[in-house]
Structure 1
């Protein structure tokens, strides 16, 4: 498989999907989101592949967030459509993939990057990983499932604090919170994930697919929360705070929010 923004490596029953935009710290744009969907769709239908590892190229970032320049001037409706489409073709798609997807989180996983990691079935972090949802510092909220998946993983109080402060936590804190399952030295990240993948691949792929479905079904009663997030995300695009936050980010200055 050939992509502009991804590398896909296949070794026996294991596929490793690498987001390859190092100059942008592997930030997610619309093209990369579509390529991830296409790659994962193909791997899901490949009978030889049993486990998928998702990671970012290099040591600096898993995914440092969304490509803000791409949507800084969107209208409310465009913002809502952005979140709805992205959740449908990537974030919800990953969560419900029939094959296990392990997030190998190296370096920064911020905004859409953390949301992508949280959509994976579980996460392993390198010891230099830093994670957070900084969207409110731009005058918007997490729009790819962050307001829903983060509380499920770490609890409501911690999720509220992390979202409202726009702060970051390190790998050790992420493990303490239950956001990641393991923390390993950066140079051992992929080999550790590969060992886990081998253990998983020895088990029944049919049973695993049913296990994924069963576990996810337990959380589906909060589906309305995703709809509310999409609507609120779109509404943020009509605010002066969003205009100021994104403009300040692109101009590399501190935002001065008018509160409107």
Structure 2
């Protein structure tokens, strides 16, 4: 078994074992909001893992007892003073989504607590989503006065137009059972077993012939 643990940054930790890389959003804030710096860190980490021959599949998680992500860091956004800063923010979001969907290795999302807005969209870019029985998935942008083009596009591709419209226009939260029924989640696990179940799936995926997996993923994600 090959294993390595290293602190990538103050907000991300990574552990590699049995061809599965576990990336934990380790920010002190329990809800794991994403700043621009953190988006860039995650994108760089994913690109590095994609180039690592010891990794066959990647798991993203907010950590035990922590939310996957409550979305963008709106404290940071509130400090923006002009359009250029907003455009840079949007560029960083787009680049992160493109990275998650565009790398050659599959990505599993292990979702506990909240996955809200940008946090849910990060999960939607992943290939396989395991939710805890306590998770809540929300796309609240319209309620907050924010356009939701990225989220609407992703949702329609994954769950269809009707569910997309319900999530966007009601801005209600989907619990684990409803998310499973509507295909936002592939499976649900007890919170205490969430990460271990996601890693189990990642190790299985990572055991497949890498040429086959890496020759498939970019093609099926090309239109996403």
Q: TM-score, normalised by structure 1?
A: 0.79
User: Contact 2:25/2:32 (CA < 8 Å) preserved in 1?
Assistant: yes
Which blocks of at least 5 consecutive residues in structure 2 are unaligned? 1-5
Which whole-Å CA distance do the structure 2 matches of 1:140 and 1:77 have between them? Answer: 17
How many angstroms apart in 1 are the aligned matches of 2:188 and 2:10?
Answer: 30
Q: Give the C-alpha shift of residue 24 in structure 1.
A: 4.9
2:14 to 8, 30, 36: 8
Post-superposition offset of 1:91? 0.9
Q: Which residue of 2 aligns with 1:19?
A: 25
Separation in structure 1 between the aligned mates of residue 9 and residue 148 of structure 2, nearest angstrom: 27
Superposed, 1:197-236 pairs within 5 Å as 197-217=202-222, 219=223
Per residue, is there more helix in 1 or in 2?
A: 1
Equivalent in 146, 152, 176 of residue 147 of structure 1 = 152
1:136-175 aligned at under 5 Å gives the runs 136-142=142-148, 145-175=150-180
CA distance in 1, matches of 2:85, 2:148: 15
CA contact (8 A) 1:126 1:186 kept: yes
What TM-score, normalized by structure 2, do the two folds share?
0.91
Give the conservation status (yes or no) of the 8 Å contact 2:30–2:66. Answer: no
Question: Is the CA contact 2:32–2:69 (under 8 Å) kept in the aligned structure 1?
Answer: yes
**Contact 2:22-2:199 at 8 Å conserved across structures:** no
Runs of 5+ in structure 1 lacking a partner? 221-260
CA positional deviation for 1:201: 1.9
| Structure 1 residues 22-171: aligned runs within 5 Å | 22-74=28-80, 75-88=82-95, 90-142=96-148, 145-171=150-176
Corresponding residue pairs, total: 217
Distance in 2, Cα, partners of 1:58 & 1:184 = 13
RMSD: 1.6
Take 1:142 and 1:104, find their aligned partners in 2: how far apart are those partners? 23
**Distance in 1 between residues matched to 2:171 and 2:78, nearest whole Å:** 18
Tell whether the 8 Å contact from 1:21 to 1:57 is kept in structure 2 after alignment.
no
- Which is higher, the Rg of structure 1 or of structure 2? 1
Q: CA deviation at 1:77?
A: 4.5
| Partner Cα separation in structure 1 for residue 64 and residue 204 of structure 2 | 26
